[in-house]
Amino acid sequence: MLKVSVIGTGNVAKHLYNAFLNVETVEIVQVVGRNKKALSSFGIEEKTTSDFSEIKDAADIYLIAVSDSAIPAVSQKLESKSGLVAHTSGASSIEMLSKHKAYGVFYPLQTFSKDQEIDFRKVPVCIEGSTKSNMTKLKRLGSEISESVHKVDSEQRQALHLSAVFVNNFTNHLFYIGNKICEENQLPFDLLQPLIEETVQKLKNTTPFDAQTGPARRGDQETLNSHIEQLGNLQDKEIYNLLSQSIQSTYGKKL
Amino acid sequence: MLKVSVIGTGNVAKHLYNAFLNVETVEIVQVVGRNKKALSSFGIEEKTTSDFSEIKDAADIYLIAVSDSAIPAVSQKLESKSGLVAHTSGASSIEMLSKHKAYGVFYPLQTFSKDQEIDFRKVPVCIEGSTKSNMTKLKRLGSEISESVHKVDSEQRQALHLSAVFVNNFTNHLFYIGNKICEENQLPFDLLQPLIEETVQKLKNTTPFDAQTGPARRGDQETLNSHIEQLGNLQDKEIYNLLSQSIQSTYGKKL
C-alpha cells in the first residue's frame, strides 16, 4: 500500500485524487489546500485540512499539485517530512525541490477540466526522481493509476510542456477562431467536428508533415488572398498570414 | 436511381466514387480525368475516359471534383449537357457554373487523403442549387451517401472553408511544430496523443472559449518567457508570441 497526500485543490489535484480513489493499492492520507470551499468538494472532511501546520507525517509520497509559482512556498511547509516530495508541473525543474531528502516529479500530461471525466489509465505520467529508488517509488505510484508511465528528465519535460502548449492551448485557440467564423455566418460549429476528428485520427497513420493539405501547402495564392480578405479581425489576419508562411517555408514554397 | 458522372481523379473524386459505389441507388456513368494513371486506379476501365469529348450525355448529375483553378475549363466541356453540373469546392462560388441550365454545389466538408478510409455517412455534405429542384436533386444525392446534408449558400460555404483552414490545416501545422519539438528532445510524439484527443473531445461538452487553459490564458508571464527562450526557431517564436497575444486579448488580459 502506498500512502499519498495531495497538496492542492485544483483540477490536477482533483483528477489525481479521483484516480487514486479508484485503486485499492493507494491510500489517501490527506488532501491539503488553502481553499476551504474547494477542499469540501472532495467530500472527505476528516482527511482534509487548510492548515499547513497540520500536514501529517504518515505519507510515503507528498504530491504538490499547485500553480508553479506556489511550489516553493508549499515545498517549505514540507521540509520536515521524511516522505518523498514530488511536484506535478510540466514547466518546473526537479531542482525546485532539492532541499528535500527525497524528491521528484510526477507530471500527468493531460488537460484537466472541472467537469470533464478522464480515463486516467490512458494519461501519460512523466516521472523523474532524485535517486533511483525515488524514481522506482514514483514509477510504482504511476503504474497504479496509468498504463503509460515514462521516465522523462526535466529538460525533456519542459519540452513536452512546450509542445503541449502548441498542440492543446494553441490548437484550442484555432478552434475558437473557427467557431467565431461559423457564428458570424450563422453556421453550427458542429459541421466542423468530423473534420477536426479526422485531423487527429490521421496522426495515427501518418506524420503531421505528410498529413498537411490546404491552400498554403498547395501554394494556392488566390485562395490565400481571398481568405485574408474574408477575415474581419486584424489579429486573425496576422495569424492566417504567419501560419500560412510557416507552412510554406516548411514545404520550401515561397509566398 | 441517380446517374452520376465524376470529373476528376484526385482524393475528393476517389472518395466520392467509393461512397457512391457503396450504395445501390446511385449509378456511376463515368469517371473522367486527364491523368490516365489515376484513372486506371479506379479499376473500371470501361467507364473511364481521359478524352473530354467522350463525356456521355446520360448522367443526371456531373460532379466536378478538380482543383479550383481548373473548374472553368471543365465547366466549358460540359456546356452541352442537360444534366445538373455541380462543383465540389469549398472556396468557389456557385456562379462559376452559371452558364449551365442546371447547376449547383456539392461540397463534402472533410480532409481526404489517398490511403485514409473515411466513413462517408458522417461527412457533412454542403449543398447549394441554382433552383429549388436542383437543390432537391443534390439533397437526394447527398442523402444517399451521408447522414449529414446541409443547405449552405456560397458565402457561408466560403466561411466554412476558411474555418476549416484554421481547424484543420493550421491545427495540423501546430501538430507538426509539436512533433518537431518532441523529436529534438528524443521524445515520442505519441505521448501527446491523449492530450490531443482530449482537446477535441472537450468540444463536445464545452465551447473552445470555455475550454482554454495554459500559461497565456492564466497570464503566467514567467512560463511564456521560458517557452519563448526554449524555442530554437525564429518563426516558431513568432507563432508562439502571436497566438499567446491572441489568447490574451480574447480573455481581456494584456501581455
Q: What is the pLDDT of residues B81-103, one digit of tens each?
A: 999 999 999 999 999 999 999 99
Look up the CATH architecture of domain A2-152. 3-Layer(aba) Sandwich (3.40)
CATH 1.10.1040.20 placement within chain B: 157-250
The whole-number pLDDT of residue B139 equals 98
C-alpha separations of B7 from A90, B79, B134 in Å: 51, 14, 19
* Best mutation target, A122, A176, A184, A201, to test chain B (most B CBs within 10 A): A176
Spell out which residues of chain B touch residue A238, defining contact as CB-CB under 8 Å.
242
User: With a cut of 70, which residues of chain B have pLDDT below it?
Assistant: 253-255
Interchain proximity B162–A193, CB inside 8 Å: no
Spell out which residues of chain B touch residue A242, defining contact as CB-CB under 8 Å.
235, 238-239, 242
User: With a cut of 50, which residues of chain A have pLDDT below it?
Assistant: none
Beta bridge pairs of residue A149: A125
Spell out which residues of chain B touch residue A248, defining contact as CB-CB under 8 Å.
none
Sheet containing A84-87, strands listed edge to edge, beginning at the edge strand earlier in sequence: A48-49, A26-32, A2-7, A61-64, A84-87, A103-108, A125-129, A149-151
Nearest to A191 among B124, B212, B223 (CB): B124
Look up the CATH architecture of domain A157-250. Orthogonal Bundle (1.10)
The whole-number pLDDT of residue A252 equals 87
C-alpha separations of B63 from A86, B50, B67, B141, B142 in Å: 61, 16, 13, 11, 12
3-state secondary structure of A23: coil
Beta carbons within 8 Å of B13's beta carbon, 6+ residues apart: B6, B7, B31, B33, B63, B65, B66
Residue A137 near residue A57, CB atoms below 8 Å:
no
H or E segment and range at residue B15: helix B11-21
Q: A205 CB near a chain B CB, below 8 Å?
A: yes
Q: What is the mean pLDDT of chain B?
A: 95
Q: Is the ipTM, as predicted for this complex, more than 0.85?
A: yes
pTM higher than 0.90 for the full model? yes
